[in-house]
Chain A
Amino acid sequence: MLQASSDVTFEGTVLFERSGSRQFLTVASTAEGNRGELRRMNAGANPRSEFWPIPSRSLTRICHVLEVYVPRLESGRIIAGRSTQRLTLRPRDTLRLTHLVDMDQSTGLPLAMITLDLDGQMLERYEYAAIEYESVIPDASVGNVVDAEYKRGRNIVPGYFLISENPDRGLFVVSDGLATASVFVEPLPAGAPVGEGAIIEGATLTYTRGVRSGSGGLLISVLGEVPFVTARLLADAVRPPLEDS
């Protein structure tokens, strides 16, 4: 499921809903290159194509996901004319969200997905209305799965590992293999008091914290599909360059 986008080429129509809004999309992946195409069909007339990267396949990442989520597989409903299996990924702790994934029984492609908060409330969902497969990439067997681009760094908060960082620009990205959070550090805007605040759009939480420092002040922003407590712990984890961990 996590790598099905890498294993098959397809074209379909998707409904995406969150925060009371909905978008209809056409989505396609191609056998050539490493990107797919996306068009937002109700954003305007003759919508332009946008492109999305097709991630590399990684067996390691799947193992990491199972370290922090409890999987449950059961028979699913019919979606876009195809049989599915329902994979429930329930978090082992309170630092991540719950995901309900309806996978194509034949290809494993996630045809629908619902993200729930810790309270069981739906934050966002998508579902295919129609899908056509073009081919299956031949070397998609587990034995051929490579971990070309999935490398995790040190553990920042339980289950979340550093996957990318640029300390000079104050950018850090952590992931638990499924959920991702980006941490941005910048000077505190002039006149801004010390404090914190958060908003949530669909499953994406944006948490900001202003702190005083010797050089004036800093603003830490955490964006991610994570609960509030996780964003707060990630902000706690930010340290100055010369401080030992």
Chain B
Amino acid sequence: MTAEDRDREALSALMDGEAQELELRRVLDSISSDPSLRERWRRQQQVRERLQGQRTHAPDVDVSIRVREVLDTGRSASRNPIWSMAVAASVTLAVVMGGQQLLIPSSGIAPAPVVSELGGAVVPVLGAQPVQASLGARSLPVSNRQTAGIQSAGQSVAAVYERLARDRYHRLNGRHAASAAQSHPAPYISYVRVPEIKPEAPVSE
């Protein structure tokens, strides 16, 4: 396998959200020195989005620079390979979505299977760098009473998760309202969002 083949393979892994951090850094190095590889990344990104029915990102947006910045300024990743994958996926996701106002997720970025048991904790998401909003841009809305279709595993999976999301909305919104009321300028609005609920105590520590 030639170095060019390896670069192309690494690029595919990156596009699929499967690149480890070291691989990600290596392909970014190659991209910075190889205009043809850089162009290939852009083309693949556009083709993938078209296949997924998404709006195409502006072709002159160079994501690689932002990805590198995020990697260079962020903490070093844990040795846990799962954690590394989560970092890479998050970096790409945050930079691409942040820059492009994309609300519908890309099926090319696999969900990070990072949880192994109930409970646990939430931890800071490395690389999720905020970027300047471009509020005038059009985005694909997750419209009212509609499902944001996640097509990564087909229509049936999307249907299952639409039902799960709707069920969890009805089951859990009461608890969420109690917490959201603490921050909303009009606290009662959080309760009005839930049909006829009995307010619950916020989640206690």
Contacts and interface: CB of A to CB of B under 8 A. Distances in A.
A50 B199 contact: yes
Interface stretch (B32-40, B61-69, B186-194): B186-194
Nearest to A37: B188
Contacts of B158: 195, 197
A192 B164 contact: yes
A interface residue count range (under 10 / 10 to 19 / 20 to 34 / 35 or more): 35 or more
- Please indicate which of the listed interface residues B98, B181, B203 has the most CB atoms of chain A within 10 Å of its own CB: B203
A61 B187 CA distance: 15
A200 B157 contact: no
A94 interface: yes
Interface centre among B131, B172, B182, B190 (most CB of A within 10 A): B182
B113 A194 contact: yes
A196 B129 contact: no
A225 B190 CA distance: 10
Contact of B183 (A23, A165, A177, A236): A177
Interface residues on B, range: 35 or more
A200 B91 CA distance: 25
Contact of B199 (A53, A98, A219, A220): A53
Contacts of A196: 105, 111, 150, 152, 161
Nearest 7 A-B pairs (CB), nearest first? A197-B161, A93-B130, A245-B123, A195-B157, A206-B169, A180-B180, A182-B176
7 contacts: A25-B188, A93-B133, A118-B139, A165-B205, A211-B113, A229-B102, A240-B117
Interface of B: 78, 80, 83, 86, 89-90, 93-94, 97-98, 101-105, 111-125, 128-133, 135-139, 141-150, 152-153, 156-158, 160-162, 164-166, 168-169, 172-173, 175-176, 178-193, 196-199, 202-205
Given A55-B182, A94-B98, A117-B139, 13 more contacts: A50-B191, A53-B187, A94-B97, A185-B120, A195-B160, A198-B148, A206-B165, A206-B168, A208-B165, A211-B114, A221-B164, A239-B115, A240-B119
